[in-house]
Structure 1
Amino acid sequence: MSNPKFTRVPSMRERVEDTLSAHRNQLVALLSRYVAQGKGILQPHHLIDEFNSAVCDDTACEKLKEGPFCEILKSTQEAIVLPPFVAIAVRPRPGVWEYVRVNVYDLSVEQLTIPEYLRFKEELVDGEDNNLFVLELDFEPFNASVPRPSRSSSIGNGVQFLNRHLSSNMFRSKESLDPLLDFLRGHNHKGNVLMLNERIQRISRLESSLNKADDYLSKLPPDTPYTEFEYALQEMGFEKGWGDTAKRVLETMHLLSDILQAPDPSTLETFLGRLPMVFNVVILSPHGYFGQANVLGLPDTGGQVVYILDQVRALEAEMLLRIKQQGLNFKPRILVVTRLIPDAKGTTCNQRLERISGTEYSHILRVPFRTENGILHKWISRFDVWPYLEKFTEVTSLSFGNHRLLLMFCSVCLSERWQLVQIVRTCSQLLCLPTR
């Protein structure tokens, strides 16, 4: 029996070179069409449309369409055209990027590194720059302690991935559980201590207190309100936040006991999901006319307004339910932050604060765009708002006060998502807020 032979997978550059050798005329025609459009950035649909237009229908062209170059083109996210060069950014699979540059005149192919590709892309605006003393920032050390998924199946399952990572760390030793203890002991809201008090200082004390609480709660009727045994649990080291009835408190404590004995991702996720964590939410939607009446059909204003308002009502109801189940009496607060438009065209977009109908604790907070000459009175397109975002963010952050808020996004136009990233980043920096 012959030994199996391992063959090396050709690089992206080699695959492009092989295609150039086999289909020289067709690729020259295609690349020439790209270059003829002048310098700029070509999106994936532009690349595919030009490919379909340039490639003929004979047998050789059919082979090209079925070959590796067509697969490369389908995985290309963008192409940078700076005549006579065409550079493509290829994403063959999630988390993997490769960069190739082709000279259309001599058909030479280069494999580019990330810095080389970015430098080439910057030449679209800055022109050719031979400055060797370019400032470079290495952020890699900040990722040293952050777990990074290596499989594409982890995409969209970040919570489960982090829970697996946390539970595996907890399983190493009792000392690995100290961060969880510190978190539970330091957890509070508006000066109210939650979960654990100063009577519990060590993991061993937490385990013994959980056993005592288990014995005590097991003797009570399951529907006993928390207020009837609140002081008994305080003597053992437990504060509010475990649940509103004896049954729910006991379930939450059993989850923590299971984590202390044998941590696993599912139990950890369930336990963390029961903790009182979110009481205030800010939703940012700076585009268009955001109101509850007479706004549909106005510029940059569509179904997203109805969607956000419906989501706010559902979110408030869910938050009230969870807070009650946690045995707390705090009131949630939801703010939809949008732009104040003095020339409101018969809408309420010139009112600073407006309560959202169908809710008790949710409001629309409007902040105007400002220039050096004062408040901007008229509506402007979402494509023209970016010069006003930084000042808008600073004023918005001052309106939040010192509350710890969970920031959420609502974007009218996906292509302008970077604007919202700018807003939330500034808010987070000013108030040290968590983001999601």
Structure 2
Amino acid sequence: MRTWRRRLDQALTLQPGEGPAVIAGLSLFYLLFTGYFMLRPVRETMGVAGGIDNLQWLFTGTFIATLMCLPLFGWLVSKVRRRHILPWTYGFFASNLMLFAVLFAAQPDDLWTARAFYIWLSVFNLLSISLAWSVLADVFTTEQGKRLFGLLAAGASCGGLSGPIIGTLLVAPLGHAGLVVVAAACLLGSVAACAYLQRWRERRPLPAAVAHPTSRPLGGNPFAGATAVLRSPYLLGIALFVVLLASVSTFLYFEQARIVSEAFTDRTRQTQVFGLIDTVVQALAILTQVFFTGRLARRMGVGILLVAVPLMMAVGFIGLALAPVLGLFVVVMVVRRAGEYALVRPGREMLFTVLPAEDKYKAKSFIDTVVYRAGDALSGWLKRGLDLLADHPQLAMSMGAVLALAWAIVGTWLGRRQQAEESTGAQNKLPPPI
């Protein structure tokens, strides 16, 4: 038994004592993403219900809602203990879900409820996931992040795999209201997993954790995240990387909505189709996260995680510009999303492990929410303008290739900067010469 356990630890690149923390981190992401991916197909159905020509308005509404919510989150981060930030935030979101469950049960076909849910889930998605990664960046060291973040991201993909399956099976008997209630229960379960993970780190405090204990509020003002980004070239680079990521995603998302709305008219059928696409994406991502992401990061650096997918997307967009067929589009979409979950997202989160605690929560949440949704909104209007200029998707796909190449260039620069920051931090921790 010990031999098999040792082999498993070696396969997963675990160090002694890390097993309980990894299980807690996997559970945190699994429950969070199971609940979210149960609701994601519902969101897509609600977006299609308002008309695909109006999606850019939903993206703009999401950006405005994010701008309104982030100062409240910044105030919470400044005033409460770090160990309470995630439980309080997720508890608030769970209460929101229960309200939507009541609205869906009372008025299942109300268009304004559908639009409100679409915007709410889009804000919840980025803020809740960003906050979970903030906790992990706070709990684990940079070295542990390189080894473990890919594995922990597999918990998100497992949730992303089971969530659509559960949603597809339960949407008919429970309806959209029932799915929302189940998702709220999953969200509360992730709070318990986070509490265990934080207790694990408190029993094994790092020097940085001793200097900035989780029992102490971070202080500062609600807008400190935005000002920190504007002052730091490194954080500005991450922000630009996120804008380009969001732009590439939006171009493909609009095409997905158009194709599915033309092929399927029934809401339940649309939800099932979106769920099936999510299932394929997550299954592919899990294999990469468990066996390849950590090894690539340790042997080739964070840069390879940030550059591989953008380069593949540039090739994919060029292919779609030359032959915009359904089969090729599905392949490009699956590669983009699976690659983001397995490579880009863990690599992006590793960039924050070299930063101080305040930036891990405030600057990170600003980039992951306001900056990301700003990229969504701007690229949504850009995509709509390109569609109006030309009925053929060739123009939009060519622009997508340009954005993907710029995305790869920024990822290369960030990988080098992260390595330099890590080396500087390691030198600062060395004892002074005798």
The TM-score range, normalised by the shorter chain, is under 0.3
Larger relative contact order (CA 8 Å, sep ≥ 6): 2
Normalized per residue, which structure has more helix? 2
Greater radius of gyration (CA): 1
TM-score by length of 2: 0.20
